[in-house]
Amino acid sequence: MEVAKKAKPGQQLSPHFTEGELACRCCGRLLIQGELVSRLEILHLPVGKPVLVNSATAAPPPMSADL
């Protein structure tokens, strides 16, 4: 399952992660892969403390008029 949409920052995506945490930092685009969220939750369990997600979605670079 893969769904792309605009993230709602405070919207809970799974018990430990919000849409804002997993969205692209530049444009807020969120590409949800069901398996990724499940894996993050599994990863979270043994750690027992917040898992910081650096980047889960990378949008394509903006089109440049200079090219």
Task: Compute the least distance from the CB of residue 57 to Zn ion, in Å.
Answer: 7
Closest CA to 56 of 38, 34, 30, 35: 30
Distance between CA atoms of residues 50 and 59, nearest Å:
25
- Determine, following the binding rule CB under 5 A, whether residue 51 of this chain makes contact with Zn ion: no
- Determine, following the binding rule CB under 5 A, whether residue 53 of this chain makes contact with Zn ion: no
Q: Single out the residue of 9, 12, 26, 50 in contact with Zn ion (rule: CB under 5 A).
A: 26
Answer for the pair 9, 18: CB distance below 8 angstroms, yes or no: yes
DSSP at 66: T
Task: Compute the least distance from the CB of residue 36 to Zn ion, in Å.
Answer: 17
- Determine, following the binding rule CB under 5 A, whether residue 27 of this chain makes contact with Zn ion: yes
Residues that bind Zn ion (CB under 5 A): 24, 26-27, 59
